[in-house]
Structure 1
């Protein structure tokens, strides 16, 4: 009893913060409608403030922070996502595979036009839940993601909730895998281990991944595991695990060129080499080529079970939609679109959507060949800047996309992704218009989000001269 009393006295503040967070998360999970914008913003703002204070106060108590992170996620176990309907498509794809259909070959619209399939639980509910935009397109989720959808549908029970619980348990498991390898990598890089909780405890991550069931969390787990293996000089396994990351979400493909300098440059003293290593250029080039070969072959093998001529066409068509059809929460693209309207007045995405990928590729090549990416921190910083550039220029930035920026940032001196994870909630207000007949995005809301993000970004990357307290030359852009 005395020990319990002493514990509560010593931890009164964090316990109060934790209980407050728990109550807010319960409200968020079970008593929030997406269109209740005032409640949404107030809950999120309160959770973000409490999270920030929790990490500040408990940064030396990793064990307690870990238990708190688990507790917050456990709140959502029985909740149906209330900010996204993508999970209906996840369950649909998993059921298609389970009854022997290739999910890449038909759209839900086409499948429903053929009639109800036997052995497909909740088919009508899933179809109606995913909405017309999702049901009219071929699936764009890579094979490991599809495997997760199948596993989730094997969770005991025939209801949509049982599949939701299956999806959620997979994502929570991946988060704690990220916590495990993220802490190990931070320690090896001599960065405070509590930095990982700017990701793990962040309400943005808990709500978008655990709550709304977005599989960026699984992709990030494999990415961080791969980077840890790479640092540990297990580059062959790093390549395999990176391929797994790509096979959850394609976004890590953008990082592949950045490994060039890491493999081909002679590492500096902070990246200690084994005495048996040959640092010759020939051996380093051989390693680089082997690394890329393993990544490509593993990725192709993972896609192989779904292969058919129709699959290639359908998948390419679906991926292309993200560049030339969809618009949401963009920044530079919206400015370019408005300029284009002055000259042409219509369908600017068809033109700009073809140009921006070229600009992104050029930026990636510049970061590959004209920037030092010799150390792990330099490599991760390059990844962060490349992905930021892509999101700044793309036509579509869904809130959960920022998760990858956030995890990369904890290994660098940059904090703008943490700020973005706070203000990204504004993107859910994009369709608040005084004129309810106007279904277009409210660009004032989007503008406010990006003024804050770009302001911090420009300050950190181009203006700020001081370095982190952990600083060394490794932290220089």
Structure 2
């Protein structure tokens, strides 16, 4: 069997072996502030990723095997581009000790001198940093469950907890490959397109390498969309709720599924918005989603939960700034007109424009088919990120996965240019290069506009 695979797929396998070498260097011999080395490795991996798909796209399981093997390189290492996982471990161990992780901050235990609250508390606090440790957690309950699983199986080892996280994320990515294949088949699209996500070095590095749980969220999203396509709306709603309870982002999907829910089982020719049965379908779907989300949060709804969780979410709109696009232009205008940073005033306003845009897409764009609805979600989420004050690299995972079910490929380009944001972490500390930020978004927006106005309906990369 193996000799036969080698005989017919020699070149893609050789490129995969070369990728393994580059991933090994990335995982074991790279520090975040060495931007030139980081960019060089990433560019090489991105080229190899493109060639592997180009040469091996006729053999789905070969590409799936390569995607699995490449992730294993990262299994026993500490992430070198992100320190968020230390907070994940802290939250999980707090939960297993019987504490509500939403009610206290790690800093509060430092100040009280009670750092024996969880195993390796000093190491975890040092790892997460003062900024992360001084804020209340903003990770929803299903995500907290993943953290607790790591604490259950590795309550006294940081590297052991990282391995458990990686296994969870790897399983989620394999699930995305399988369910993505099925959904692409149902939609009449090329099944190898799922590997624009699954083999993408951005996904392998940010999810498996840096331990971000967008993969788990997106696993539930794709499973939900697949079941919705098959007409199993109840379980689709439950799974979409689970995705919300990993990351809150899929809440933005709800209005953009509205027309598809209205059109479900609609056999009449009358106006879609006058379909009473459709309204009933949509209402029930939304009630199940919101009700399930509420159930996942129920065990934590004590004390100052709402206040603390809300304050943590508000930080992303009123305090934090990173790799933004339109917001940075607004900020520059603020400095020119009033002389100071206007994030506290503008930050809370930007979500209102996002909601307005989502409602326009929901009611004035034709989203009756699942492909049209996914396209609307892709456009809505991308607009949300364009107006955000903070866009960390791993956020791009959501538009990247969505795009494989549409004619758009600009998130694929974004998954490459997003690496420019790491230039902010230099040897002398954190400082963003706004020229590189501008380059990132000019390229992405140019590709997007080209895709919108070009005559062809097929994706630029099939």
Q: Give the TM-score taking structure 1 as reference length.
A: 0.92
Corresponding position: 1:378 with 2:369: no
Corresponding position: 1:69 with 2:67: yes
Corresponding position: 1:447 with 2:445: no
Which residue, 434, 450, 453 being the options, matches 1:459? 450
The residue aligned with 1:59 is 57
The residue aligned with 2:314 is 320
Which secondary structure state, in structure 2, belongs to the residue aligned with residue 154 of structure 1?
helix
Paired with 1:11 and 1:70, the residues of 2 have a C-alpha distance of 17
Given that 1:28 and 1:43 are in contact with CA atoms closer than 8 Å, whether structure 2 keeps it comes out as yes
Deviations 1:426-455 (A, max 9, x none): 00013559xx58x53110111111111111
Question: How is 1:92-131 mapped onto 2 (pairs within 5 angstroms)?
Answer: 92-118=90-116, 120-131=118-129
Paired with 1:122 and 1:266, the residues of 2 have a C-alpha distance of 52
Higher RCO (CA 8 Å, separation ≥ 6 residues): 2
The residue aligned with 1:391 is 385
Question: How is 1:346-357 mapped onto 2 (pairs within 5 angstroms)?
Answer: 346-357=340-351
Q: Which moved more, 1:113-122 or 1:364-373?
A: 113-122
Deviation of 1:282 after TM superposition, in Å, equals: 1.9
Which residue, 305, 313, 316 being the options, matches 2:299? 305
Paired with 2:34 and 2:196, the residues of 1 have a C-alpha distance of 27
Deviation of 1:10 after TM superposition, in Å, equals: 2.9
The residue aligned with 2:354 is 360
Deviations 1:383-426 (A, max 9, x none): 00000000011100000000000000000000100000011110
The residue aligned with 1:415 is 409
Distance 1:316 1:4, change over 3 A: closer
The residue aligned with 2:290 is 296
Deviation of 1:189 after TM superposition, in Å, equals: 0.2
Which residue, 321, 330, 333 being the options, matches 1:336? 330
The residue aligned with 1:406 is 400
Which residue, 88, 91, 95 being the options, matches 1:90? 88
Corresponding position: 1:137 with 2:135: yes
The residue aligned with 2:144 is 146
Deviation of 1:114 after TM superposition, in Å, equals: 2.0
Question: How is 1:224-239 mapped onto 2 (pairs within 5 angstroms)?
Answer: 224-239=222-237
Paired with 1:445 and 1:19, the residues of 2 have a C-alpha distance of 31
Q: Which runs of 5+ in 1 are unaligned?
A: 274-278
Distance 1:469 1:74, change over 3 A: closer
Deviation of 1:265 after TM superposition, in Å, equals: 3.4
Paired with 2:408 and 2:149, the residues of 1 have a C-alpha distance of 37
- Number of residue pairs matched by the alignment: 457
Deviation of 1:157 after TM superposition, in Å, equals: 6.1
Given that 2:58 and 2:192 are in contact with CA atoms closer than 8 Å, whether structure 1 keeps it comes out as yes
Deviations 1:47-82 (A, max 9, x none): 000000001111011111111111001111101100
The residue aligned with 1:276 is none
Q: Which runs of 5+ in 2 are unaligned?
A: 268-272
The residue aligned with 2:191 is 193
Given that 1:93 and 1:146 are in contact with CA atoms closer than 8 Å, whether structure 2 keeps it comes out as yes
Given that 1:187 and 1:193 are in contact with CA atoms closer than 8 Å, whether structure 2 keeps it comes out as yes
Q: Give the TM-score taking structure 2 as reference length.
A: 0.95
Paired with 1:4 and 1:337, the residues of 2 have a C-alpha distance of 57
